[in-house]
Amino acid sequence: MMPLLDKEASSLVRNERGSRRRLACGTMYAYVRFLIQEKGGLHINMTNRMYQTPFAMAEIPAPSIPNQTFRVDDYKDHSVGMESDYGIIQRAIEACSKQGGGTVIVPQGDWLTGPIHLRSYIHLRFETGAVVTFSDRFDDYLPVVFTRWEGMECYNYSPLVYAHECEHIAITGDGCLIGSGEAWWHWKQLQQEAANRLCYAESDGIPVQERVFGTERDALRPSFIHPINCRNVLIEGITIKNGPQWTIHPVYCENVWIKGVTVVSHGPNTDGLNPDSCSNVLVEDSYFETGDDCIAINSGMNEDGWRVNKPCENIVIRNCTMKEGHGGLVIGSGMSGGVRNVYAHNCRISGGDRGIRLKSMRGRGGFVENIWFENIEINDVREEAVQINMYYGYSTVAPRSVKPSDFKRITIRNITGKGAGIAVEIRGLPEQRLKDIVLENIRLAADSAMVCSDVEGIRITGLEIAAADQKMAEFNHVHALQLQQLNVI
């Protein structure tokens, strides 16, 4: 596990000011590791993290956590049995926060809990063998809190793990969090009326303060882990199973590091990870097996996304494995605030509906630009291995407008795989063509080869497709096509 740079470590660095001035920013963390080993005993293992992005991106700092610990089992409520003590973890967090922060340890064993609300400078660590099961009683997640539900601001049930306007927070360890999502999943069939009201609230002039839900009638399910308006967030090592809806859902956060997590959730709309209008996000060495998109980058939905107008930007995804999602690596469709500067590389996608998927529809607006996918293996997806599609047709609520999205400067290279339904689909709109698309060194086997339409500027180099139907690639309304080494066999 990658421990945190606590305040004592920060002090050590400040005390070595002469040496610090000689260090470049990119080597700072390697120096901290060396320094602390020499000083003897904080057991920090910071590494030099070089992102090698094709865009400018600052190093993501680790949370700074005070060097004191609080054990959950010291905060038992002796008036109730452990089988009904749903507040024990929260009591330990509050005690730790009152002392200025530190590490809250959840030891080995079975634990029950209601919603967990983090505070600034809190590190929540789940030790090996810790299994935390969240309450399946809906009223335990009241009162309502400020949240973003499928890209629209409102007040709704508390997420299972929630942080609002916090800084320097971490959730780490080898424990398992079980979200009891089965109790919530049938709400998918009951949510439409409330979803309609929320989706149209901005165009109807309803302010956020009046968008209050949080009833079984409304049936809007909460996210699992949901920091909102937070800075310096670390989520590492934990296993997360079967939440109500989206699993890891940071919103309006800056400096988010997700490392070595395992997400397994098979319910409806149980996306694995949804960075939502965040900046500076690193996702690495993680596994996603989900009932919807594995990783989907978002930035708000329709009119409410335009109002907030906060892009999701500077995102790195590397060395991750995706299995059985609706899409493996996804941008959209809720990207109305814009998405830019995304670099996803060295990942594996197997099973599920689609591999690399960029999706939008008329009415979303927004933009997607400066995107790179490279060195990705995609096997046995049922539909498209690679897709950029402006005709996404599965929105929870149909948009009222027809405002198109602007997708441009997208590079997809060094892609391999077999067993897809369609190798590549690139579909813009007649009124808003896709722009500046690069497909390079792609080798795929699929039932069908490629469809490309309504694109202004596309360069294809080294695209080889073994197509079972032996039909050639189709190009319609494509301008400024640069074609080298396109082989369909």
HSE (side-chain half, CA atoms, 13 Å) at 77: 16
H or E element in which residue 106 lies = strand 102-106
Burial of 128 (0-12, 13-18, 19+ CB in 10 A): exposed
Peptide bond connecting 333 to the previous residue in cis, omega within 30 degrees of 0: yes
Q: Tell me if residue 189 falls in helix, strand or coil.
A: helix
Residue 371 β-bridge partners: 342, 410
Q: Is 292 a catalytic residue?
A: yes
* Residue of 85, 292, 293, 454 with catalytic role: 292
Closest by CA position to 407, among listed 449, 470, 462, 357: 357
H or E element in which residue 91 lies = helix 88-98
> What phi, psi does 383 have (nearest 5°)?
-115, -125
Q: Tell me if residue 323 falls in helix, strand or coil.
A: strand
Taking the C-alpha atoms of residue 246 and residue 226, their distance in angstroms, rounded to an integer, is: 9
Encoding tokens for residue 106? 């959840």
Q: Tokens 């996918």 map to which residue?
A: 373
HSE (side-chain half, CA atoms, 13 Å) at 199: 21
* Residue of 326, 345, 353, 454 with catalytic role: 326
Q: Is 43 a catalytic residue?
A: no
Active-site annotation, residues: 292, 326
